[in-house]
């Protein structure tokens, strides 16, 4: 009778960082450390845990995926977080990106339009021990269309005061475009990231946007 072998997740994380991130040009030491630390296997369906650190995006249900690790790292690197920022992420999905951003910023508020995914992300963040710095809100409002027509996940770093309790889901459009804020997300099908009113190309070797 064969028994399944549970991967050494720490080894898998290090391998992911070395082969998928550093080789593609991710160099921010804090981003690399966060990607080595966050347990990605806690954010994918049970049946997909064995491939949690593979290169392609992985389905999480409801027509959505957990993005390719490279794209999560690239978005985080483009925000140039120092640890003092208050981040608003639009599109929580499974909660993995919020966990990564939470390791880099002062705090994170992430919003999700699909209630089932919001519940899933909340469970994932708690199970991974990352719910302390990442707060999740469910909203019926489609914030994604307010940021770009291409859809996808956006993170906005706001170098101001923390979010007020009742306003996390109201400030994004107004504050994300103000001086001092930095925005990262898909600006086109050619995988460009928008940051601080500028568009920075994310077209690095073998990299691709995984919505």
Give all domains of the chain, ordered by start, each with its CATH number.
Answer: 9-201 (3.40.50.150)
Residues carrying an active site annotation: 67
In this prediction, residues 180-187 reach a mean pLDDT of 59
C-alpha–C-alpha distance, residues 168 and 166, integer Å: 6
**Percent of the chain predicted with pLDDT > 70:** 64
Q: DSSP letter at 106?
A: S
pLDDT tens, 96-108?
A: 999 999 999 988 8
pLDDT tens, 9-37?
A: 999 999 999 999 999 999 999 999 999 99
Supply the pLDDT for residue 203: 34
**DSSP-derived pairing of the beta strands 86-90 and 107-112:** parallel
Instruction: Name the pLDDT band for 156 (thresholds 50, 70, 90).
Output: confident
Supply the pLDDT for residue 150: 39
CA nearest 93: which of 134, 146, 51, 148? 134
pLDDT tens, 46-98?
A: 999 999 999 999 999 999 999 999 999 999 999 999 998 888 888 899 999 99
Supply the pLDDT for residue 210: 31
C-alpha–C-alpha distance, residues 21 and 3, integer Å: 32
């Amino acid at each position: 009778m064969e028994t399944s072998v549970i991967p050494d997740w720490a080894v898998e994380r290090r391998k992911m960082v070395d082969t998928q991130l550093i080789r593609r040009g991710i160099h921010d030491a804090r981003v690399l450390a966060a990607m080595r630390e966050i347990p990605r296997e806690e954010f994918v369906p049970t049946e997909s845990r064995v491939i949690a650190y593979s290169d392609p995006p992985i389905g999480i249900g409801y027509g959505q995926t957990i993005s390719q690790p490279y794209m999560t790292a690239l978005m985080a690197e483009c925000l140039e977080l120092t640890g003092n920022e208050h981040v608003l992420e639009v599109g929580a999905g499974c909660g993995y990106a919020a966990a990564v951003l939470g390791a880099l910023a002062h705090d994170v508020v992430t919003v999700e339009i699909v209630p089932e995914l919001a519940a899933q992300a909340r469970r994932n963040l708690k199970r991974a021990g990352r719910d302390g710095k990442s707060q999740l809100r469910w909203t019926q409002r489609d914030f994604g269309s307010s940021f770009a027509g291409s859809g996808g996940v956006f993170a906005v770093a706001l170098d101001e005061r923390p979010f007020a309790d009742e306003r996390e889901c109201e400030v994004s459009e107004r504050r994300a475009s103000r001086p001092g804020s930095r925005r990262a997300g898909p600006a086109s099908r050619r995988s460009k990231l928008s940051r601080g009113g500028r568009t920075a190309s994310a077209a690095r070797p073998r990299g691709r946007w995984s919505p």
